Amino acid sequence: MSVFKYIAKRAIIPGHTATVEYAIEIGIQPPLASRRAPNKARNQAIGGDPETIYLRVDRSWDLLTVPFDRADLPQWEEFFASVEGGELFTFDAWGTVAVPDNPVTVEMPRADFLPVADGVFFYTLRLPLREI
């Protein structure tokens, strides 16, 4: 299982309260991160040794959920609405709500809420994440 923890801000569903943290626990297939090439600057003075300034490496996730029931769609809508403005949230690829494994802070660079029907009553979602 994987866990998404976010603070509800917009499109609040019945039973939830704004500014309260909520969690969604769902299976992801497969939860693997990718690394982009390092962001660095390289300079060389005339007749001198080169100098490399290592700025950062971007780590990102391109996730696909396992099929979930359409009754869960409202909470996913709340989740996307609450993070679509660049708000940070927590993602734990291998943990659960009860037993966290390695939660990381992420943002969603593209917050396109496009559930894909998987049969009559089930949906999947693609979630692009960037680690902060």
> What is the chain's pLDDT, residue by residue, as a tens digit (132 residues)?
899 999 999 999 999 999 999 999 999 987 677 777 667 788 888 878 888 887 777 888 888 899 999 899 999 999 999 999 999 999 999 999 999 999 999 999 887 778 888 777 788 888 889 898
CA distance 61 to 4: 13
Task: Give the contacts of 100 (CB within 8 A, at least 6 positions apart).
Answer: 3, 92
d(CA 92, CA 101): 7
Instruction: List, as own/partner pairs, every contact residues 68-71 make where C-beta atoms lie below 8 angstroms and the sequence separation is at least 24, other chains included.
Output: 68/26, 68/122, 68/123, 68/124, 69/121, 69/122, 70/121, 70/122, 70/123
Other C-beta atoms lying within 10 Å of the C-beta of residue 107: 17
Q: 67 Cβ partners below 8 Å, 6+ apart?
A: 118, 119, 122, 123, 124
pLDDT at 107: 95
